[in-house]
Amino acid sequence: MIIAIMWGGGFFLMALALMLSLYERVEQVRRASTSFIFYAGLTAVVAGPVVSTIADVIP
């Protein structure tokens, strides 16, 4: 359950960052928040199995 939530949130954030970067390319504006959103999503996807395993081990 935890891994599904983290992966869902992570892929949502990465898709949001991709959409924002495409919008910024049209507007010719570069924001640092886009890469932050992408790496936050990537971190959630990578950390999902770790957090899920820790939650299963600790009762």
Rounded CA Rg of the chain:
14
Place of tokens 């899920």: 52
Quick one: pLDDT at residue 12?
92
Note the Cα 48 to chain centre separation in Å.
11
pLDDT for residue 26 is more than 80: no
The model's pTM: 0.70
Give phi and psi for 31, each to the nearest 5.
-115, 145
Quick one: pLDDT at residue 29?
65
Count of the separate structural domains present in the chain: 1
Q: Which one-letter amino acid corresponds to residue 40? A: A
Residues 29-43 pLDDT 10s: 667 777 888 888 999
pLDDT for residue 28 is more than 70: no
